[in-house]
Chains A and B, each alone.
Chain A
Amino acid sequence: MEIRLKSVVNIIFFSPRTGHLRPLVRHVLFDRNLKGRKHFRWITHKKSGRIKRKFLNIEQPSDNLSIAERQIQILSITRNNREDESLFSDWRQKIACVNAETLIILLREHLISRSLAISFSHDNFKKVSGGIQLCVDKELGHFNENGRDYLHVYPKIPVTRLADKGEDIAVGLSINGIELPPAHMSEVLKLVRLIASEELEITFVIHHLMGHSPEIIGQMIQESGKHPTYFWVHDYFSLCRSYTLLRNGIQYCDAPDTRSNACMTCAYGADRQDHMTRIGKLASAKNMKLVFPSEVARDILTCSAIGFDTSEAIILPHIRLNEVATVTERSEKKPCPKLDSITIAFIGTPVHLKGWDVFRQITELSRGDENLNFLVFSAKPPVPGNYRWIPVHTTADTPHAMVSALENCQVDIVITWPGWAETFSFVTCEAIVGGAYVITNSWSGNVARLIEKHGRGIILESQSALLDFLSSPKLSEAACLIMTDREKSRFVAENSKLTYEIMESH
Chain B
Amino acid sequence: MAVHAFTSFSFSYLNRARVLASSIKRVHPDWIVWAVISDHAPPSFTFDIEQEDFDRVLYLEELFGADSDRWVFCHDVIEACTGVKGRALKRILAEDGCNKVFFFDPDTALFNPMHETVDTLNTHSIVLTPHQIDPEPRDDKRAIKDNEICSLHYGSFNLGFVGVANTDEGRRFAEWWDARLTDWCHDRLDIGLFVDQKWCNLIPCYFDSVKVLRDPGLNVASWNLSQRTVNFDKQGMARVNGSPLKFFHFTKLGPIGDRMTLRYAKDNVEVHELWYWYKDEVEKNTDPKIPKNWWKFGLLSNNMKIRKRVRELYRESKKIQRIYPNPYAINIFSYLFLSLISINFVRSLLKIINRLFKR
Contact = CB atoms under 8 A, between A and B. Distances in A.
Interface string A266-288: 11000000000000000000000
Contacts of A64: none
Interface residues of B, number: 19
B344 to A, nearest CB: 39
B339 to A, nearest CB: 42
Interface stretch (A252-260, A389-397, A405-413, A430-438): A252-260
B111 interface: yes
B236 interface: yes
B274 interface: yes
Contact of B269 (A72, A253, A260): A72
B245 interface: yes
Contacts of B280: 79
B111 A76 contact: no
Given A75-B276, A79-B280, A253-B232, A261 B269 contact: no
A66 B269 CA distance: 12
A265 B274 contact: yes
Interface in A231-261: 247-248, 250-251, 253-254, 256-257, 260-261
Interface string B30-62: 000000000000000000000000000000000
A263 B236 CA distance: 7
Interface magnitude class on chain A: 20 to 34
A261 B245 contact: yes
Of B234, B235, B238, B269, most buried by chain A (CB within 10 Å of CB) is B269
Contacts of B234: 254, 256
Contacts of B214: none
Nearest to B234: A254
Contacts of A254: 234
A261 B238 CA distance: 6
Interface string B260-280: 000000110110111011001
A68 interface: yes
A231 B266 CA distance: 43
A262 interface: yes
Nearest to A270: B280
A256 B236 CA distance: 5
Nearest to A262: B236
Interface string B100-116: 00000000000110000
A264 B276 contact: no
B237 interface: yes
Interface in B242-288: 245, 266-267, 269-270, 272-274, 276-277, 280
Contact of B236 (A66, A72, A79, A260): A260
Nearest to B267: A68
A253 B273 contact: no
A263 B237 CA distance: 9
Contacts of B236: 253, 256-257, 260-263
Interface of A: 66, 68, 71-72, 75-76, 79, 247-248, 250-251, 253-254, 256-257, 260-267
Given A250-B273, A260-B235, A265-B274, 15 more contacts: A68-B267, A68-B269, A75-B276, A76-B276, A79-B276, A248-B273, A251-B269, A251-B270, A253-B236, A254-B234, A256-B235, A260-B232, A261-B237, A263-B236, A265-B273
Across the A-B interface, the 4 shortest Cβ-Cβ residue pairs: A256-B236, A260-B236, A262-B236, A68-B267
Interface of B: 111-112, 232, 234-238, 245, 266-267, 269-270, 272-274, 276-277, 280
